[in-house]
């Protein structure tokens, strides 16, 4: 069990809508005929695409296949990896696609959430030559924030949003799962004291052998790196990217710690399990702090154990 310091930071380092009046029924009909369903024209659109069957039999991708008299675009192969990814992770998702055709094309590659077929991210590519190409995704949505946990897939569209022919595409692994955090202890482990177990215990203890790797549960910036010999021992505080939470790691070994100010990715090693400070046995004492952060007006979150066990299941 870890002893926490009472109320102090350990080892502080410090358009306007218009109205159109139509003169006649004929004008009204003409106006209605000119209204077409708008397609996504900018990355800021919030429209969703429902899956529809296509003549090619590919199904489940939405949109209509464009072939035109000037030659169709054929998708020959596609694949996304890894199948499990983490937001701002050490290993981003890479989508590779191979197209065939008679000339360069302007394309859109979309990341789509499978639960509602909503486009969450768009890459626009001009003059794409026939051949193999790729895009990388760290989990940021089109508004710059973090995409939600869930299953996603990639798809290729024409410049104007039309579906391309993927009836003969090789590979059926364009889907992947995205998670917001990763369990920090990368070894066999057991759970010890939780929040409130004993005076001032504001986190969750996770026991593992000393020297086992610790990774960033959420990527971000290492805000503090210090030592409190009588309590936390060697510790790190990571300011989580795009969620406002601080992730605190205590009793870690001195060697191998991430540097203060360093940017780390979710799943990237930042230290090793230790027994430094006032600790009984090799373990990580982990705390999760609310906005605006650790000893900056935030508070330690009682949900830390629930969250860690959730991360543990999917990591």
Of the three residues 122, 152, 179, the one that is the final residue of a domain is: 179
Nearest CA among 220, 194, 201 for reference residue 304: 194
In-domain check, residue 41: no
Nearest CA among 216, 205, 267 for reference residue 240: 216
The confidence score (pLDDT) of residue 32 equals 36
In this structure, the answer to whether residues 54 and 164 fall within a common structural domain is yes
Q: What angle do CA 77, 78, 84 make, to 5 degrees?
A: 155
In this structure, the answer to whether residues 168 and 246 fall within a common structural domain is no
Cβ-proximal residues to 217 (8 Å cutoff; 6+ apart), any chain:
181, 182, 183, 184, 238, 247, 266, 286, 311
Average pLDDT over residues 146-167: 94
Between 26 and 176, whose confidence is greater? 176
Lowest mean pLDDT among 64-73, 229-238, 260-269: 64-73
The confidence score (pLDDT) of residue 11 equals 54
pLDDT band at 200 (very low <50, low <70, confident <90, very high): confident
In-domain check, residue 4: no
Three-state DSSP at 29 gives: helix
In this structure, the answer to whether residues 223 and 129 fall within a common structural domain is no
Share of the chain above pLDDT 90, in %: 72
Asked if the model's pLDDT at residue 245 lies above 80, the reply is: yes
pLDDT band at 197 (very low <50, low <70, confident <90, very high): confident
CA separation for the pair 230, 311 (Å, rounded): 30
β-sheet bridge partners, residue 285: 205, 250
In this structure, the answer to whether residues 215 and 305 fall within a common structural domain is yes
In-domain check, residue 245: yes
In-domain check, residue 25: no
pLDDT digits (tens, 9 = 90+) for 64-100: 444 433 357 899 999 999 999 999 999 999 999 999 9
Of the three residues 179, 213, 244, the one that is the final residue of a domain is: 179
pLDDT band at 289 (very low <50, low <70, confident <90, very high): very high
pLDDT band at 31 (very low <50, low <70, confident <90, very high): very low
Counting the structural domains of the chain, the total is 2
CATH number at residue 221: 2.70.70.10
In-domain check, residue 33: no
In this structure, the answer to whether residues 163 and 77 fall within a common structural domain is yes
**Domain, as residue range, for 199:** 190-314
pLDDT band at 129 (very low <50, low <70, confident <90, very high): very high
The confidence score (pLDDT) of residue 189 equals 98
CATH number at residue 91: 2.60.40.1930
Average pLDDT over residues 221-227: 97
Asked if the model's pLDDT at residue 271 lies above 50, the reply is: yes
In this structure, the answer to whether residues 172 and 194 fall within a common structural domain is no
In this structure, the answer to whether residues 152 and 251 fall within a common structural domain is no
The confidence score (pLDDT) of residue 171 equals 79
CA separation for the pair 301, 218 (Å, rounded): 16
Of the three residues 119, 145, 179, the one that is the final residue of a domain is: 179
> Is the CB of residue 106 less than 8 Å from the CB of residue 282?
no
The overall average pLDDT reported for the chain is 83
Asked if the model's pLDDT at residue 8 lies above 70, the reply is: no
Residue 301 parent element (H or E): none
In this structure, the answer to whether residues 207 and 287 fall within a common structural domain is yes
In this structure, the answer to whether residues 92 and 197 fall within a common structural domain is no
The confidence score (pLDDT) of residue 40 equals 35
Asked if the model's pLDDT at residue 231 lies above 50, the reply is: yes
In-domain check, residue 306: yes
The confidence score (pLDDT) of residue 276 equals 98
Between 206 and 170, whose confidence is greater? 206
In-domain check, residue 304: yes
In this structure, the answer to whether residues 143 and 200 fall within a common structural domain is no
In this structure, the answer to whether residues 200 and 175 fall within a common structural domain is no
CA separation for the pair 196, 204 (Å, rounded): 9
CA separation for the pair 1, 296 (Å, rounded): 25
In this structure, the answer to whether residues 250 and 172 fall within a common structural domain is no
Asked if the model's pLDDT at residue 256 lies above 50, the reply is: yes
In-domain check, residue 10: no
């Amino acid at each position: 069990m870890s002893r926490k310091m009472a109320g102090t930071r350990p080892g502080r380092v410090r358009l306007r809508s218009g109205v159109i009046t139509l003169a006649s029924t004929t004008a009204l009909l003409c106006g209605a005929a000119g209204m077409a369903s708008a397609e996504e024209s900018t990355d800021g659109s919030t429209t969703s695409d429902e899956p529809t069957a296509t003549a090619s039999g590919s199904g489940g991708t939405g949109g209509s296949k464009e072939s035109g008299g000037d030659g169709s675009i054929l998708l020959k192969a596609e694949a996304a990896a890894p199948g499990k990814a983490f937001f701002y992770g050490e290993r981003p998702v890479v989508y590779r696609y191979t197209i065939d055709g008679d000339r360069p094309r302007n394309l859109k590659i979309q990341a789509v959430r499978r639960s509602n077929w909503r486009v969450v991210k768009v890459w626009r590519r001009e003059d794409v030559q026939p051949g193999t190409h790729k895009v990388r995704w760290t989990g940021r949505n089109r508004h710059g924030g973090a995409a939600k946990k869930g299953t996603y897939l990639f798809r290729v569209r024409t410049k104007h949003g039309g579906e391309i022919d993927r009836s003969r595409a090789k590979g059926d692994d364009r889907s992947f799962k995205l998670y917001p955090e990763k369990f920090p202890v990368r070894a066999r482990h057991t759970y010890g004291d939780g929040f409130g177990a004993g005076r001032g215990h504001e986190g969750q203890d996770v026991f593992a052998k000393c020297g086992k790797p610790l990774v960033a549960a959420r990527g971000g910036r290492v805000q503090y790196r210090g030592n409190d010999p009588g309590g936390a021992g060697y510790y790190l505080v990571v300011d989580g990217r795009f969620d406002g939470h601080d992730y605190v790691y205590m009793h870690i070994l001195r060697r191998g710690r991430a540097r203060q100010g360093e940017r780390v990715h979710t799943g990237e090693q930042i230290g090793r399990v230790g027994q430094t400070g006032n600790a009984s046995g090799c373990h990580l004492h982990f705390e999760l702090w609310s906005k605006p952060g650790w000893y900056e007006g935030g508070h330690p979150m009682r949900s830390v154990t629930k969250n860690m066990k959730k991360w543990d299941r999917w990591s």
